[in-house]
Amino acid sequence: MDSASRSAVIIIGAGVSGVSAAKVLAENGISDLLILEASDRIGGRIRKESFGGVSVELGAGWIAGVGGKASNPVWEIAAKFGLRTCFSDYSNARYNIYDQSGKIFPSGIAADSYNKAVDSAIQRLRDLESNCIEDVPGGTESPLTPKTPIELAIDFILHDFEMAEVEPISTYVDFGEREFLVADERGYEYLLYKMAEDFLFTSEGKILDNRLKLNKVVRELQHSRNGVTVKTEDGCIYEANYVILSASIGVLQSDLIYFRPPLPRWKTEAIEKCDVTVYTKIFLKFPYKFWPCGPDKEFFIYAHERRGYYTFWQHMENAYPGSNILVVTLTNGESKRVETQSDDETLKEAMGVLRDMFGPEIPTATDILVPRWWNNRFQRGSYSNYPIISDNQVINDIKAPVGRVFFTGEHTSERFNGYVHGGYLAGIDTSKALLEEMRKDENKSFLREPLLASTGSLTLTSSNTVSSLQKCDVPTQLYLSGKLGIPGAIL
Ligand SMILES: Cc1cc2nc3c(=O)[nH]c(=O)nc-3n(C[C@H](O)[C@H](O)[C@H](O)COP(=O)(O)OP(=O)(O)OC[C@H]3O[C@@H](n4cnc5c(N)ncnc54)[C@H](O)[C@@H]3O)c2cc1C
């Protein structure tokens, strides 16, 4: 059992933000770091699994935001390491809408419904901006409120999928509107291993460095001006000068991690204000194809009177020809509902929908994979979703450090929250902010040397500042009196 070993920085979580944060620290000479990850693998919400003979992505699947003026950094890393991807063309999805009797809606009706839904969404946005209505699901009834199955299906596509959002999204504005599906047997997570290789000891594709500790569920963070003590579920205690916490917004909203002293109110209020989207991709394997194939048929939609009921479908023939796999995406309420039932029940429902669309003769899927992001206590959802009209203070408060605890993760990315590149860039930003803080701390310790020398007790160096302070009463008093060290106002 590890007990009270002390590091310069402990990073909690080895998703993309934790790994990118650690890499920046290592590149800046902070090799005395420790990564504590709750699960038995790195990657977090980037996660592949073998299914039906291929590698499927349970979490992030697309590199979103490609082809614009600026280059998406994740796209650059993918290109550098030759990750296999496949362009996703959503533009025809709205012309592949099936009703419950298996008929495809004529393109004119589909186009009219789509335009109506866009008008409705724009109107709603304007109303929200002028504070006419509260942003509640279902909102106020208007003639444009979706009611029929096709309207509900399009409304779902518009609002629950980023590809058809009506308000501009920084990812697409900055990096471009194209999206590429990762279709690589090594998985999207391969990029994380390649990033880790730069600063952790690896051999034959495995990370063997003991600065990465898996299966370490952090349950308590005790923080003070002197440092941070981290307690894990298995009873281990780690100490550090600083902590970077990359757990998701859903985890921060849960009671998994106990802060001592508790986080200040401005922090907890901001954390509560951010919504969590649950987004679930259900994979189904069939003995043979019975759906139309081809690039313009990759995505198809099922119109049902229940909004979001097995609405959005994708075949995997473009990514993995011959795989005979379909993917259906559920969100929020439907995701949570399905997470609580057995996979057999889910299979039955999905088959009912497919038989509506393609007839009673189609074969039953031979295998099903249902990820459970909501019930995963290390995730509690899929990604952050700030209110459309949100004030910048919320996100600033979410990412602001509390004393020696720094926060990172996709939810702390002002422009790209919800995306892999958001997590990646957030990790870099947080580490840069921490390095800046460490530099300030170092300068302060340099300034206080003559003062401390006059006490005749000890001289602090930048590397041992915090641990020495902990051991010595006199400088601790000076430190706590606010004359030295980090400002008292932080806590
Ligand atoms: C189903 C789904 C689909 C998505 N699709 C896309 C997509 O197509 N494109 C895209 O760009 N993005 C997509 N995303 C979002 C993207 O995956 C995330 O934005 C990104 O991976 C988040 O990275 P992160 O490092 O912020 O968090 P995480 O990946 O969640 O990393 C945090 C890590 O902290 C660990 N942790 C949590 N609590 C503790 C604890 N107490 N102690 C120790 N460790 C802890 C977790 O196990 C995890 O490994 C999707 C996400 C999901 C779930």
pLDDT tens-digit map of 53-84: 999 999 999 999 999 999 999 999 999 999 99
How many angstroms separate the alpha carbon of residue 68 from the centre of ligand 1?
25
With cut-offs at 50, 70 and 90, classify the pLDDT of residue 48.
Answer: very high
To the question of pTM greater than 0.90 for the whole model, the response is no
The protein residue with its alpha carbon nearest to ligand 1, atom 1, reads: 59
* Ligand 1 pocket, mutate which of 245, 369, 383, 428 (most atoms under 8 A from CB): 383
Q: Which of 367, 302, 292, 355 is nearest to 329 (CA)?
A: 302
Q: Cα 33 vs. chain centroid, distance in angstroms?
A: 23
The protein residue with its alpha carbon nearest to ligand 1, atom 53, reads: 382
Give the residues surrounding ligand 1 with Cβ less than 6 Å away. Answer: 12-18, 36-39, 44-46, 59-62, 64, 216-218, 246-248, 251, 256-257, 279, 281, 373, 378-379, 382-383, 409-410, 418-420, 422-423
How many angstroms separate the alpha carbon of residue 356 from the centre of ligand 1?
35
**pLDDT tens readout for residues 374-384:** 999 999 999 99
**387 cis-preceded (ω within 30 degrees of 0):** no
pLDDT (average), residues 259-275: 97
- Residue 470's pLDDT is 27
The protein residue with its alpha carbon nearest to ligand 1, atom 4, reads: 60
**pLDDT tens readout for residues 5-34:** 799 999 999 999 999 999 999 999 999 999
How many angstroms separate the alpha carbon of residue 65 from the centre of ligand 1?
18
How buried is residue 358: exposed, middle or buried, by Cβ count under 10 Å (0-12/13-18/19+)? Answer: middle
With cut-offs at 50, 70 and 90, classify the pLDDT of residue 87.
Answer: very high
What's the mean per-residue pLDDT of the chain?
A: 87
Angstrom distance (rounded) from CA 422 to CA 53: 31
pLDDT above 70 covers what percent of the chain? Answer: 85
- Residue 185's pLDDT is 97
The protein residue with its alpha carbon nearest to ligand 1, atom 31, reads: 15
In terms of average pLDDT, the best of 70-84, 106-120, 131-145, 452-466 is: 70-84
User: Of the given ranges (271-275, 322-326, 450-454, 487-491), which has the lowest mean pLDDT?
Assistant: 487-491
How many angstroms separate the alpha carbon of residue 412 from the centre of ligand 1?
12
Angstrom distance (rounded) from CA 207 to CA 43: 13
Which contacts of 307-314 are long-range, i.e. CB under 8 A and separated by 24 or more positions?
307/146, 307/152, 307/153, 307/155, 307/156, 308/156, 308/160, 308/332, 308/333, 308/334, 309/334, 309/353, 310/349, 310/350, 310/353, 311/153, 311/156, 311/157, 312/93, 312/156, 312/157, 312/161
Atom of ligand 1 nearest to the CA of 16: 25
Atom of ligand 1 nearest to the CA of 421: 11
Straight-line distance from the first to the last Cα atom of the chain, in angstroms, rounded to the nearest whole number: 31
Give the start-end residues of each E strand in 166-298: 178-182, 202-203, 206-207, 212-213, 218-224, 227-232, 237-245, 258-260, 275-277, 279-285
pLDDT (average), residues 303-328: 96
Above 70 in pLDDT, residue 472? no
Top-confidence residue, 391 or 311 = 311
- Residue 302's pLDDT is 97
The protein residue with its alpha carbon nearest to ligand 1, atom 12, reads: 419
User: Of the given ranges (62-76, 121-135, 279-293, 449-463), which has the lowest mean pLDDT?
Assistant: 449-463
Above 50 in pLDDT, residue 461? no
Binding site members for FAD: 17, 37-38, 218
User: Of the given ranges (110-119, 258-267, 423-432), which has the lowest mean pLDDT?
Assistant: 110-119
Angstrom distance (rounded) from CA 312 to CA 338: 15
Sign, Cα dihedral of 177, 181, 182, 184: negative
Answer for the pair 379, 387: CB distance below 8 angstroms, yes or no.
no
User: Of the given ranges (158-167, 220-229, 333-342), which has the lowest mean pLDDT?
Assistant: 158-167
The string over 205-235, giving b where at least 16 C-beta atoms fall within 10 Å of a residue's C-beta and e elsewhere, is eebeeebbbeebbbbebebebbbbbbbbeee
Atom of ligand 1 nearest to the CA of 417: 19
- Residue 444's pLDDT is 79
pLDDT (average), residues 212-220: 98
How many angstroms separate the alpha carbon of residue 98 from the centre of ligand 1?
33
Residue type, 263: L
* Contact partners, residue 374, CB within 8 Å, separation at least 6: 250, 278, 335, 336, 339, 380, 381
How many angstroms separate the alpha carbon of residue 3 from the centre of ligand 1?
28
Question: Nearest 5°: phi and psi at 239?
Answer: -120, 150
How many angstroms separate the alpha carbon of residue 248 from the centre of ligand 1?
7
